[in-house]
Amino acid sequence: MPKQLLQGNQAIAMAAESAGLKFFAGYPITPASEIIHEMVNKRHIRVLQMEDEIASINAIIGASLAGLKTMTATSGPGFSLMQESIGMAHMMEVPIVIVNVQRVGPSTGMPTLPAQGDVIQCIHGSHGDYFPIVFYPNSVAELYQYTIMAFNAAEESLSPVILLSDGYISHLYETITPSGDFEIKVRSRSPLGSGNRHFTGLSHEDSLPKTSDVDNYRRLITRLQEKQQSVAQRYNYYEYLECSKDTDTLLISYGGLSRAAYYFKNDFSLYRPIRMFPVVEEIRSIASRYKRILVMEMNTGQYAHEIERILHRNIENIPILGGRIDLTEMKQKIKQKMNE
Amino acid sequence: MTTTTVTGPKEQACDTLLAAGHTACTGCGEALAAKLVLGAAGRDIIVTDATGCLEVFTTRFPQSSWEVPFIHSLFENSAAVASGVEAALKALGRQNEAKVIAQGGDGGTADIGLQALSGMLERGHNVLYVCYDNEAYMNTGVQRSGLTPFDCMTTTSPYGEYSWGNKHNKKDMPGIAAAHGIPYVATASVAFPKDIENKVKKALTIPGPKYLQIHSPCPLGWRSNPHLTIKVAKLAIETGLYPVFEMENGKITKVRKVKTPKTPVEEYLKIQGRFAHLFKSPKGQEEIQKIQEIADRNIEKYGLA
In chain B, the percentage of residues whose pLDDT exceeds 90 is: 92
pLDDT-wise least confident of A303-307, B4-8, B53-57, B169-173: B4-8
Tell me, yes or no, whether A265 and A144 share the same domain.
no
Chain B CB contacts of A43 under 8 Å are 162
- Nearest CA-CA partner of A99 in A184, A36, A47: A36
Cβ of A51 and B141 within 8 Å? no
Same domain, A218 and A261: no
Those residues with Cβ within 8 angstroms of residue A94's Cβ, 6 or more apart along the chain or in another chain: A61, A64, A65, A158, A159, A160, A199
Nearest to A33 among B51, B75, B140 (CB): B140
Q: Quick check: A216 and A205 in contact, CB under 8 A?
A: yes
Is the bond leading into B9 cis (omega within 30 degrees of zero)? no
Other CB atoms within a 10 A radius of the CB of residue A196 amount to 5
Yes or no: say if A99 and A36 are a contact pair by the CB < 8 Å rule.
Answer: no
Q: With 50 as the cut, is the pLDDT of residue B11 above it? A: no
Task: Classify each residue of B187-212 as buried b or exposed e, where b means 16 or more C-beta atoms within 10 Å of its C-beta.
Answer: bbbbbbbebbbebbebbbeeeebbbb
Structural domain span for residue B79: 29-302
Which residue from B minimizes the CA distance to A40? Answer: B156
pLDDT confidence of residue B15: 59
Q: Are B222 and B272 in contact (CB under 8 A)?
A: yes
Q: From B76, which residue of chain A is nearest by alpha-carbon distance?
A: A52
**Closest by Cβ to B156, choosing from A29, A40, A43:** A40
Per-residue pLDDT at B303 exceeds 50: yes
Burial (CB < 10 A; 0-12, 13-18, 19+), residue A160, is buried
pLDDT confidence tier of residue B175, bands split at 50, 70 and 90: very high
DSSP helix/strand/coil, A187: coil
pLDDT at B12: 42
Residue B86 forms part of a structural domain: yes
Tell me: do A120 and A251 sit in the same domain: no
- Cα of A77 to nearest chain B Cα, Å: 9
> Based on the domain organization, do A247 and A226 belong to the same domain?
no
Q: Are residues A19 and A104 in the same domain?
A: yes
Show which of A232, A265, A288 is a domain's final residue.
Answer: A232
How far is the alpha carbon of B34 from chain A, nearest alpha carbon, in Å?
A: 21
For residue B169, the domain's CATH number is: 3.40.50.970
Q: What is the pLDDT of residues B258-277, one digit of tens each?
A: 998 999 999 999 999 999 99
pLDDT tens figures, A122-159: 999 999 999 999 999 999 999 999 999 999 999 999 99
Lowest mean pLDDT among A37-46, A182-191, B77-86, B215-224: A182-191
Which DSSP state fits A235? G
Tell if the CB–CB gap between B156 and A28 is shorter than 8 Å. Answer: yes
What's the CA gap between A31 and B173, in Å, rounded?
29
**Phi, psi at residue B157, to the nearest 5°?**
-135, 65
Residue after which a domain boundary falls, among A179, A206, A232: A232
Among A80, A112, A169, A54, smallest CA distance to B141 is for: A112
- Which chain A residues in 35-54 lie under 8 Å from chain B, judged by CB atoms? 36-37, 40-41, 43, 47, 49, 51-52
Which residues of B fall within a CB distance of 8 Å from A41?
158, 160
**Which pLDDT score is estimated for B262?**
92
CA distance B153 to chain A (A): 12
Decide: B96 and B205 in contact? Cβ < 8 Å: no
- A198-226 pLDDT per residue, tens: 889 999 998 888 999 999 999 999 999 99
The whole-number pLDDT of residue A179 equals 80
Answer whether B72 sits within 8 Å of A108, measured CB to CB: yes
* Closest in B114, B146, B156 to A37, CB measured: B156
Give how far A73 is from chain B: nearest CA, Å. Answer: 14
Same domain for A228 and A254: no
Are the beta carbons of A36 and B72 separated by less than 8 Å? Answer: no
- The one-letter code for the residue type at A93 is E
Q: Name the minimum distance, in Å, from the CA of B145 to any CA of chain A.
A: 8
Domain of A143 in residue numbering reads as 4-232
Domain count, chain B: 1
Query: Does residue A243 carry a pLDDT above 50?
Result: yes
Using a CB-CB distance cutoff of 8 angstroms, which residues of chain A are in contact with residue B107?
28
Mean pLDDT, range B292-302, rounded to an integer: 98
- Whether residue A108 and residue B74 make contact (CB cut-off 8 A), yes or no, is yes
Query: Do the chains contact at A47 and B156, CB–CB below 8 Å?
Result: yes
Is A108 an 8 Å CB contact of chain B? yes
- Count CB pairs under 8 A between chains A and B: 49
Q: Which of residues 269-298 of A touch B (CB under 8 A)?
A: none
Return the H-helix or E-strand segment holding B298: helix B283-302
pLDDT of residue A188: 84
CB contact under 8 A, A108 and B107: no
- State whether residue A30 sits within 8 Å of chain B by CB: yes
Contact of A29 with chain B, judged by CB distance below 8 Å, is answered with yes
* A215 and A300 share one domain: no
Find the CB nearest B156 among A30, A49, A108: A49
CA distance B213 to chain A (A): 19
> Which of A28, A81, A111 is the closest to B143 by Cβ?
A28
A205 with A249, same domain: the answer is: no
Nearest to A77 among B74, B143, B160 (CB): B74
Under the banding of pLDDT at 50, 70 and 90, the label for residue B14 is very low
Among B114, B140, B162, whose Cβ lies nearest the Cβ of A30? B140
Q: Name residue B137's beta-bridge partners.
A: B143
One domain, residues A19 and A164: yes
Rounded to an integer, what distance in angstroms lies between the CA atom of residue A52 and that of residue A38?
Answer: 19
Final residue in a domain of this structure, among A232, A264, A291: A232
Question: What digits encode the pLDDT tens for the residues B70-106?
Answer: 999 999 999 999 999 999 999 999 999 999 999 999 9
Residue B95: per-residue pLDDT: 93
Report DSSP letters for A129-152, one per residue.
----EEE---SHHHHHHHHHHHHH
| Cβ distance of B155 and A107 shorter than 8 Å | no
Mean pLDDT of A294-298: 98
Backbone Cα Rg of chain A: 20
Q: State which H helix or E strand residue A290 sits in.
A: none
Give the H or E element holding residue A61: helix A53-66
Closest to A108 (Cβ–Cβ): which among B51, B137, B144? B51
Structural domain contains residue B12: no
Q: Quote the minimal CA–CA distance from B111 to chain A in Å.
A: 5
Judging contacts by C-beta atoms under 8 Å, the chain A residues touching residue B156 are 28, 36-37, 40, 47, 49
Co-location of A251 and A185 in the same domain = no
Question: What's the total number of domains in chain A?
Answer: 2
Pair A291, A196 in one domain: no
Instruction: Indicate the pLDDT class of residue A181, thresholds 50, 70 and 90.
Output: confident
What is residue B108's DSSP assignment?
I
CB nearest to A51's CB, from B141, B146, B157: B146
Residue B16 belongs to a domain: no
- Contacts of residue B12, defined as CB under 8 A and 6 or more positions apart, other chains included, come to none
Asked, for residue B191, whether it belongs to a domain, the answer is yes
On average, the pLDDT of chain A sits at: 96
Say if CB B211 and CB B185 are below 8 A apart: yes
Q: What is the pLDDT of residue B2?
A: 56
Residue of B nearest to A39 (CA): B156
Could you give the count of Cα atoms lying within 13 Å of B252 in the half-sphere of its Cβ? 15
CATH number at residue A272: 3.40.50.920
Closest-CA distance, A52 to chain B, in angstroms, reads: 5
What single DSSP character describes residue A215? H
Chain B: residue whose CA lies nearest to A111: B56
**Is residue A139 domain-shared with residue A251, that is, in the same domain?**
no
